[in-house]
Chain A
Amino acid sequence: MNGSYLSEYNAALTRRQFFRKTATGLGVAALSSLLGPRAFGASEQAEKIARDLWQIAPKAKRAIYISLIGAPSQVDLFDYKPGLQTRFKEDLKDWLKQQGERLTGMTAGQEAFPLAPSVFKFEQHGKSGTWVSELLPWHAKMVDDLCIVRSMHTDAINHEPANQLIYTGSMITGKASIGSWLSYGLGSLYQDLPTFVVLHATHSSPYSNVQAISSRLWGAGFLPGKYSGVELRAKGDPVLFIKDAPGISRELRREMLDGLSALNQRSYEAIGDPEIQTRTQQFEMAFRMQSSVPELADFSGESEKTYELYGPESKQRGTFANSVLMARRLVERGVRFVQIFHRGWDQHSDLPRDLGSQCKDVDQGCYGLIQDLKQRGMLEDTLVVWGGEFGRTIYCQGKLTEKDYGRDHHPRCFSIWMAGAGIKPGFVYGQTDEMSYNITENPVHVRDLHATILHQLGINHDKLAFNYQGLDQRLTGVEPARVVNDILA
């Protein structure tokens, strides 16, 4: 057996498995897939493709996506409509008919569609004078750090398809999630932690209407399984089964792995399949993660000052404030993409009571995250995105009183914010009509958001593709998507 050749080949395959960065920074996995099995050795071609993909200078090295499941009401948070206060209870039935939008199965049967102006006070904040609802006092403080997009729109009217569209680029199940695309396209910055980490934050209100989510929102879909998001759990082991079985010390684990390695090496010598080496290396990485993950979960090095930024709840494991602090720790260590899911934003009824509690859960944590990143000089190359899957209706679902109302799903406009990494700070983008129903200026489709996120991370959304089922699959799908240049600094 030609030893030197084999080891070279094996090293190449190992590189493929670990998708270490090349000089250009491109994930080797994406490269090798684009080039086919003969990728290695075809270096000029690799360089060319890398140049194509890498034609954008990346503004962001990493991103944090705060996903508010259930759809926060834009009308009560960012999309201020002062003109509606005098039109309380006006029946919009006929007006809605002219709009021609579908109604969900929940309000389609309503006899009247009374207009429900927000009960919350809005005020202008910051140098930018941005209107923010009283529900988000901490957001108000940092409004000059944020770029609020009020003109998002989507194709879906119910949670399940809408979540799949915004987190995987398609309403159809089985597609790859944003984070898995980034893992695939960018690769890892740090080998002892996963590239894409998912956090589930708890919500405090017992009343909140909680929507189900599933791993399809952070799964790899048609991409190889290793690009899936890894859930870092707040309950039990942070990574499933990461803790050694009771009674097995680190020393004995090391001893066992040394034996395992030696025995695997014999198999490799006998069979010659480089996959054996790869497998051994996975056990080694697992061993390293057993140190890096507990270190990650050990917050004892965080100062009281930091906790103050994020608020008192940041000390309690699993809360939103705690999760964003964890997100900062993760990106600090080189994790590419962190996605935080916070559920309970589906206020079909009792909106004034429940939205308040939801906002309280996330408000200060978001503030803490942005300030913390800024203080550490990381905001300039960390992209933060905040938002839900669609908006909510201006008309009331259920009974409307002076103090109480609910809002149904609304796909035609919703608000999100972005911050950091080359996004214009203190900026508001997009306009909606007087009813916060239609977009009147600068619409941003979900796929435009995706194109923009990829762009900030240095990826041309048109180029990042994976052939599956006869189609070059892209996060942005087949319809044209645009980078929203207007919001780039």
Chain B
Amino acid sequence: MRLDREQFAFEPRDDGKPVIVKGDPTSSEVVRRIKATDDDIMPPASEHKTIKPQEIALIEKWIAQGAKYEKHWSLIPPTRPELPKKTGSWARTAIDQLVLRKLDENGLKPNPEEQKARLFRRLCFDLTGLPPSPSQLEEFLNDKSAKAYERAVDRMLASDSCAEQFARNWLDAVRYADTQGIHHDHARSIWLYRDWVIAAFKANMPFDQFTLEQLAGDLLPGATMDQKIASGYNRLLPTTGEGGAIPEEYATIYAKDRADTTAAVWLGLTTGCATCHDHKFDPITMRDFYSMTAFFRNSTVPALDNGANANTAPLLFVPVKEDRSRWAALEVALTNKKQAIEDRKREARPAFEKWLGDTGSSLTNTPDDSNPDLFLALTESDGPCRGKAGSESIEWPGENERHTGPLGPAPLVSSGLAVENALPTFARTGQASYGALIYVESKPNGTVLSRMNKAEGFRGWDLFLSDGRPTVHVIDQWPDQALKVTAKAALKPGRWHHLLAIFDGSLKGADAISLYVNGRKVEVEVNNNNLGSNIVATVPLRLGGRSDGTNATDTLTNGKVFLQDLRFYNRALSPVQIARLAASGLVREFLASAPDQRNSDQTNLVYDLYLSGFDGPAQKLQEELAQLKAQESPIRSRGATTLIMEEKKESEPVAHLLVRGNYAAKGEEVKAATPQALPPMQPEMPHNRLGLAHWILLRENPLTARVTVNRIWSQLFGVGIVETTEDFGVKGSRPSNQDLLDWLAVEFMDSGWNLRHTVKTMVMSVTYRQSEAVSPQKLERDPANKLFARAPHVRLDAEEIRDQALAAAGLLNTAVGGSPVKPYQPEGVWEAVAMKDSNTRVYMQDHGEALYRRSLYTFWKRTAPPPSMEILNAPSREVFCTRRDRTDTPLQAFVTMNDPQFVEAARQLAERAMKSAKSFDGRLDQVTEWLLARRMSSQERPVVRRLLDKSLAVYEKDLAAAQRLVGVGESKADKAFPPAELAAWTLVASEIMNLDESLTK
């Protein structure tokens, strides 16, 4: 029986009486049971839970008063409360009036206004995450006008750093990270979403739009590129590509994770428990929960990432801003050109048929005028093979086995026989084209042809097969000075192909190699991309293997390979030449076969060869297409890819009730729907993510606005009006001041979901501007400051602590957005936990400017987050986090004292101070103005002076120690300062950086 449900409480039982008799506690079974002393006692002894006498009295009183059931507070939509009529002189805004009323009720008085400088520092951190510079501080302190504070607020709210600060908090909530999180924990490219969030805050995007675009940007009519990027919200969760993972299991986990996160972040609802049973305390039933997950179960996102990387489709390529208009035009041009090529293909068919008829003779009769630098026909039916190297004839013993080829019997290559005197050569900066007709059985592995010497570090070049996939190596020293590309598709077993590699040393990186199969350039993956300068091996050409200096090595296995018409050119052939070369073999084979033996694949292949090799208009179109693609490639290399969301069009979002949450125990199917206890979706709302987003934003929805303003409040005031920012349910905290919460929520909606207005309203209040001092009375009455009779005194977040150090040091790089960066990190942090084949196993630290970006741009590996930040309570970003834990540990002291980032920053700040003044006091002022936004008192100064004097004495005696200290970090110490003095000041700066006053706001 559930007494949290009214229907059960008053339902007549077997004895005709309900368990609760309105107005009559003594006749109520409930009261008898909770007061029982025998086995009837509720809750039963086995639950280890007891009800206190005063609680029993309360229940009796409630029944006596009529046992009125009321909805949980957070489910009743907020209305704007009436403001107190009488307020004193303290309150200036509605917030203040409501706070003051609560304080009066609790016998507390608000604090006076904070000292101007300390207030300004707190405001700077709250709004921008950065400390004020001494000049900003001075400007503020000197502005005596009544509007000074408001002007400062407005200026900060409009800044990039403000957008970054609010984005950072949002990224915690939605668990943004740069790796997939599970198993391999490969890198994931979704930072464009992070930049979208920053841009949204910068533009003060209304929160309703902000919500719609993230939950369902892809479903908005005419979705823009930015809206699709925003839909990446749905892709932020941890995912896996673990080999043995069961797709259905993970599809279930992911939908639940998305539903949980969305419910917690927007609605303050914890739905997790409803996975297994009706939510005991919250009005979320199991059906509600699975109906919520259904919204996220109709996407095209596969359940598992592939093992190789975490950039799983659907993906969106996003050009940099400057390229976007060109990109759009180019996309149209490319589509048109491809269409024109298709059109030509239709038109040219009759000409092709005719050509095919004529070609039998023409192809065979046309002499080959392409002048290969090496030509091996490989058509001998037995005996030695013969060929030509330039004008020299060469001959070598071939292998015996033959397979019928387009031009005659083709020899097996498998053992790496050397073709003595065949020395086709190209230089690092030169060009070459080489290849042959090739026939494979199965999916062979090994070398097809090469001039490569293992004894010289694999110097040379080859054509190779990796499980049947054509591969090219061009190597100076393997593997560090080498190019390697592998075709994405394998050759088809049992078929003749024309395979050609082109090397063009004038092109950059892996672009130097292109692979052509049957006259068409094929897609490749780049395996090694750092070629050295010398690629000429001293060994001759080998077929079916490489040289180890004397003998063959790396020969072919796992399937036979036959070759014919092998050619090497010391130039890069044109696409037309390549097509003709391919055609000369393949068309002949085609024509030799009986017409009824030809399938459409073969016909299409030959037709394609005709179009690219012999049809003028088609060639022109192909050339134009190539030019367009050439324009595409630099845009692609400048831009980036991001994960986006995409809905399946042919199906509806549904889910199944799962017994005890087990994916394999499917129960009834449910459609996507919102929880019954909340206002219904409107008829016009589609039952998909877009409809869900609109429903979340319904004016009648009692939760969204409250949850949102409460989260912002908690960021500014250290604790939420509802302390459990993620849980507004029955087990969550009650609001410490519901009128205040409701007033803010209604104001937020009335303002058009205006976040900046909301923040400004909060920081303009006198409540916000109170001092942080705490009296014993306040500590006793309100230790956690839930009633806001003072300003919070809380430690800065991890990112704020690091950014403060960088800013004070003058090191901070204020660039906005871009791919994540890798600042200093102790060695071995990633390696200790990562899998061998994870692409984030080895931490490759950045250098220069990238070391000093704001901390929200630091690469976030979920299984090993940046250690300094993790130690300072940054969440792992594996699950949503709407309020950070703030605990103090000694490990944190190690970070701020010894992390090279902080030591370097202290030294840079010391230099800054030494440059600014000659005197001790002048220098100290510079340090403390940056870190504390004030100058030290005459009682404090001697404490610092003592450290300076002591350390100066030590360092003057031990210059080497001083050198070591000032040598920390990549930035170089200023030679203008004596190392001993700089070291001493570095220690002073570090001491002040570690003060409670520096580490808190």
B876 to chain A, nearest CB (A): 7
A105 to chain B, nearest CB (A): 5
Q: From residue 143 to 177 of chain A, which have CB atoms closer than 8 A to chain B?
A: 157-160, 172-174
Q: Would A247 and B962 count as touching, CB distance under 8 A? A: yes
> Which residues of chain A have C-beta atoms less than 8 A from B894's C-beta?
239-242, 286
A181 to B155, CA, bound (A): 47
Closest B residue to A290 using CB positions: B894
A471 to B48, CA, bound (A): 15
A53 to chain B, nearest CB (A): 11
A181 to chain B, nearest CB (A): 16
Q: From residue 293 to 329 of chain A, which have CB atoms closer than 8 A to chain B?
A: none
Q: From residue 91 to 132 of chain A, which have CB atoms closer than 8 A to chain B?
A: 102, 104-106
Determine if B57 is an interface residue (Cβ-Cβ < 8 Å). Answer: no
Determine if A244 is an interface residue (Cβ-Cβ < 8 Å). Answer: yes
Q: Would A244 and B995 count as touching, CB distance under 8 A? A: no
> Which residues of chain B have C-beta atoms less than 8 A from A86's C-beta?
none
Q: What are 17 contact pairs spanning A and B, CB under 8 A?
A: A157-B244, A215-B833, A216-B876, A225-B873, A240-B891, A241-B898, A248-B961, A249-B954, A267-B996, A275-B888, A283-B890, A286-B890, A286-B893, A469-B273, A469-B727, A470-B732, A478-B276
Q: Would B870 and A215 count as touching, CB distance under 8 A? A: yes
A173 to B950, CA, bound (A): 50
Q: Would A471 and B838 count as touching, CB distance under 8 A? A: no
A391 to chain B, nearest CB (A): 14
Q: Would A252 and B900 count as touching, CB distance under 8 A? A: no
> Which residue from A213, A219, A278 sits with its C-beta under 8 Å from B876?
A219
Q: From residue 228 to 263 of chain A, which have CB atoms closer than 8 A to chain B?
A: 230-231, 233, 235-237, 239-249, 251-253, 255-256, 259-260, 262-263
Using known A-B contacts A242-B898, A245-B968, A276-B996, determine if residue A259 contacts B944 with beta carbons closer than 8 Å.
Answer: yes
Using known A-B contacts A246-B967, A249-B961, A470-B281, determine if residue A105 contacts B897 with beta carbons closer than 8 Å.
Answer: no
Residue interface bits B980-991, CB-to-A below 8 A is 1, else 0: 000100010011
Known A-B contacts: A247-B963, A469-B731. Give 6 more (CB < 8 A). Answer: A174-B878, A214-B863, A215-B864, A215-B876, A249-B961, A273-B774
Closest B residue to A4 using CB positions: B776
> Which residue from B185, B245, B999 sits with its C-beta under 8 Å from A212?
B185
Name, among A104, A159, A248, A283, the residue most crowded by chain B CB atoms within 10 Å (CB to CB): A248
Residue interface bits A275-288, CB-to-B below 8 A is 1, else 0: 11011101101100
Determine if B773 is an interface residue (Cβ-Cβ < 8 Å). Answer: yes
Determine if B775 is an interface residue (Cβ-Cβ < 8 Å). Answer: yes
> Which residues of chain B have C-beta atoms less than 8 A from A264's C-beta?
995-997
Number of interface residues of B (CB under 8 A): 104
> Which residue from B775, B868, B962, B966 sits with its C-beta under 8 Å from A272?
B775
Q: Would B793 and A251 count as touching, CB distance under 8 A? A: no
> Which residues of chain A have C-beta atoms less than 8 A from B836's C-beta?
210
Q: Would A463 and B48 count as touching, CB distance under 8 A? A: yes
> Which residue from A106, A244, A282, A463 sits with its C-beta under 8 Å from B243?
A106
> Which residue from B834, B878, B903, B995 sits with its C-beta under 8 Å from A263?
B995
A282 to B994, CA, bound (A): 12
Name, among A52, A245, A255, A471, the residue most crowded by chain B CB atoms within 10 Å (CB to CB): A245
A215 to B878, CA, bound (A): 11
A278 to chain B, nearest CB (A): 5
Q: Would B246 and A245 count as touching, CB distance under 8 A? A: no
B279 to chain A, nearest CB (A): 8
> Which residue from B272, B893, B962 sits with its C-beta under 8 Å from A469?
B272
> Which residues of chain B have C-beta atoms less than 8 A from A282's C-beta?
888-890, 892-893
> Which residue from B879, B943, B965 sits with its C-beta under 8 Å from A248?
B965
A211 to B887, CA, bound (A): 31
A174 to B864, CA, bound (A): 15
Using known A-B contacts A219-B876, A245-B903, determine if residue A226 contacts B947 with beta carbons closer than 8 Å.
Answer: no
> Which residues of chain A have C-beta atoms less than 8 A from B879's C-beta?
173-174
Closest B residue to A276 using CB positions: B996
Closest B residue to A460 using CB positions: B48
> Which residues of chain A have C-beta atoms less than 8 A from B142's C-beta?
none
Closest A residue to B246 using CB positions: A105
The 9 closest A-B CB pairs, nearest first, are A470-B731, A247-B965, A214-B863, A104-B244, A247-B964, A286-B890, A246-B964, A286-B893, A241-B894
Q: Would B951 and A252 count as touching, CB distance under 8 A? A: yes
> Which residue from A104, A172, A246, A272 sits with its C-beta under 8 Å from B246?
A104
Determine if A431 is an interface residue (Cβ-Cβ < 8 Å). Answer: no
Determine if A435 is an interface residue (Cβ-Cβ < 8 Å). Answer: no
Determine if B827 is an interface residue (Cβ-Cβ < 8 Å). Answer: yes
A334 to chain B, nearest CB (A): 15
Q: Would A236 and B827 count as touching, CB distance under 8 A? A: yes
Name, among A1, A469, A471, the residue most crowded by chain B CB atoms within 10 Å (CB to CB): A469
> Which residues of chain A have C-beta atoms less than 8 A from B826's C-beta?
236-237, 240-241
Determine if B687 is an interface residue (Cβ-Cβ < 8 Å). Answer: no
Residue interface bits B883-913, CB-to-A below 8 A is 1, else 0: 0010111111111011110010000000000
A35 to B865, CA, bound (A): 34
Q: From residue 830 to 887 of chain B, which have CB atoms closer than 8 A to chain A?
A: 832-836, 838, 862-865, 867-868, 870-871, 873, 876, 878-879, 885, 887
